[in-house]
Amino acid sequence: MKKTRFAAYVGATFAMSALLSSCQLFTGYHQIEAADSADNWSGKIYPVAGETNIACVGTYHCEITRIDQTPTIAAETHQPVDRNIVIVEPDKDKVPLVDTKAVKLVPLSASGISGLTNYYARVTPIKREVQVNFYPENNLEYVERFTVIHEFVAGTYQLRAYKVQSQQKDSSLLTSASPNPLCIELIQDGTIERRFCKQVDTERQGEFVETGVFDDTVTS
């Protein structure tokens, strides 16, 4: 039976991923960065003036499954719902989107899970609801579902998943058994705009709750 976790509705933003002093990206993303096969995409985003790019990173695999009412990546097949919205040559196909309902998918990089591809989305800049599936482990049985609502502007956004490293040195069985919480940063053009972390308390267990951003610098 699939092990799924559900997120609360939240709101969003991007930059190139990196380690912060108190967080740790999943191994799979480093595998993606290190990929040098000719069959793997470079991970480059091709911006189009006046548009919004939305990408997800940080786990072995992640998928933007829906933007507003438009399904994008099918959770069952992990493939684009409609091949007609996929841009095959992003460096050449830069025709601007004119419809606020239009969504284009662009291959971003090879996934950390064999046989899959990470895509980013091109849309026009308005307030949107974006649904993302994150796969923190090297299998498709464990998925973290995250929904973000944000007033997007033109630029590049990234939803970056990581786990907070515990600062406690308590070696008790209870402490060691507690998982480090999963967090998602919403980053716009190199600046952390918002941060959401999964709660482990009994009242809100399993929910992503927005936390304060004390340092908005994304290191590289």
* Residue 81 pLDDT greater than 70, yes or no: yes
Q: Taking the model in full, what pTM does it have?
A: 0.77
pLDDT(55) > 80: yes
Q: What total number of domains does the chain contain? A: 1
Q: Determine the structural domain holding residue 45 and report its residue range.
A: 3-211
Q: Is 116 domain-assigned?
A: yes
Q: Is position 14 within any domain?
A: yes
Q: Considering only residues 97 and 40, tell me which one the structure prediction assigns the higher pLDDT.
A: 97
In a domain, 219, yes or no: no
The residue among 23 and 63 whose pLDDT is bigger is 63
Say if residue 97's pLDDT is above 80: yes
Average pLDDT over the chain reads 79
216 occurs within a structural domain: no
Average pLDDT over residues 64-83: 97
Q: Is the pLDDT of residue 170 over 80?
A: no
Give domain status of residue 218, yes or no. Answer: no
pLDDT of residue 38: 32
204 vs 135, more confident? 135
CA contacts within 13 A on the Cβ side of 153: 4
Per the domain annotation, does 220 fall within a domain? no
The pLDDT confidence band at residue 179, using thresholds 50, 70 and 90, is: low
Q: Is the pLDDT of residue 35 over 70?
A: no
- 96 occurs within a structural domain: yes
Output b/e per residue, 57-96; b: 16+ Cβ within 10 A. bbbbbbbbbbbeeeebbebeebebbeeebbbeebeeeeee
Collapsed DSSP state (helix, strand, coil) of residue 189: coil
pLDDT at residue 208 greater than cutoff 50: yes
Instruction: Kindly indicate the confidence band of residue 173, based on its pLDDT and cuts at 50, 70 and 90.
Output: very low
Taking only the tens place, the pLDDT of each residue in 2-19 is 444 434 333 333 333 333
Q: Is 113 helix (H, G, I), strand (E, B) or coil?
A: coil
pLDDT score for 206:
76
Residue 104 lies in a domain: yes
pLDDT of the residue at 199: 82
Q: Is the pLDDT of residue 187 over 90?
A: yes
The mean per-residue pLDDT over the stretch 20-25 comes to 45
Backbone angles phi, psi at 28, to 5 degrees: -60, -35
**Residue closest to 218 by CA, chosen among 183, 199, 195, 191:** 191
Average pLDDT score over residue span 72-84: 97
With a pLDDT cut of 70, the percent of the chain lying above it is 69
